[in-house]
Amino acid sequence: MRKKIVAGNWKMNKTYQESKVLVKELKKGIKNIKLDNTRVIIAPPFTNLQNASKKTKDSSVEIAAQNMCAKESGAFTGEISASMIKSIHVDLVVLGHSERREYFGETDASLAAKVDTALKNDLEIIFCFGEVLEDRKSGNHFKIVEEQIKKALFHLNSDDWKNIILAYEPVWAIGTGETASPEQAQEMHAFIRELVAQRYISDVAEEVSILYGGSVKPANAEEIFSKPDVDGGLIGGAALKSEDFLALVKAI
């Protein structure tokens, strides 16, 4: 049975000291929540990744990096490699976030290369994609999402998909307070699962967790999470306060 997942993407928030406090609060709070077939993941900034990894070693909170270089090593100033991430016992990485696509020029092709490097280094991937508002308005959203997934992931074999978590994040719903309706999320998630089923065997589609991201908060989470093809959430703003994030874990 595929896992339910609540993942927090901290983006460029929290200093080292602030991160330490939040990790501590989450670690403590999570102990009081019964996790039934559910994974809890947080993606702090690189400056706190090692601390978060150390501090959660004996906890059910898992740690993800927010980005990674496609190259294995070398003269790439400012970049972080897959093996560096693995070396601090972090086994997950977020790739393809719309902010990386929009502000840092990441493309389907460059993401396909990152996906390959991550898998080669035994990193599990939370792969993000989603349409912008114009695409939604013009009815192109299915086509856009299909292309993003096909171009970055459909060269993989069935076995590789054991290390893929999908995250549908409509760009118009990120940080805007506007959420896709539970019906819109379900419709897209069912479409994605069908897409994967057509390309691979249906087992792959049934096993892959598909998260929804975009203004998920304690007030709207339960309804979104209740949809059959929504296996959890990738959370931005509400992941920055332990109280809110823990409420989302409870909501799943």
Catalytic residue IDs = 97, 169
Among 44, 231, 236, 246, binds ligand 13P (CB under 6 A): 236
Nearest to 179 by CA among 231, 141, 214, 226: 214
Q: Between 115 and 173, name the residue whose CB sits nearer to ligand 13P.
A: 173
- Asked if 234 is part of the footprint of ligand 13P (rule: CB under 6 A), the reply reads yes
- CB of residue 213 vs ligand 13P: minimum separation in angstroms? 4
215 binds ligand 13P (CB under 6 A): yes
Q: What is the chain's percent helix, strand, coil content, to nearest 5? A: 50, 15, 35
Strand partners, 8: 42, 235
Residue at token pair 């992931």: 153
x/- contact string, 2-31, with ligand 13P (CB under 6 A)? Answer: -------x----------------------
Could you say which of 175, 203, 226, 241 contacts ligand 13P (CB under 6 A)?
A: 175
Residue 200 vs 232, nearer CB to ligand 13P: 232
- Among residues 40, 39, 46, 41, the alpha carbon closest in space to that of 11 is found at 46
Check residue 96 for interaction with ligand 13P (CB under 6 A): no
Phi/psi of residue 93, nearest 5 degrees: -145, 140
* Residue 143 amino acid letter: K
Residue 228 per-residue DSSP state: T
Q: Which residues bind ligand 13P (CB under 6 A)?
A: 9, 97, 169, 174-175, 213-216, 234-238
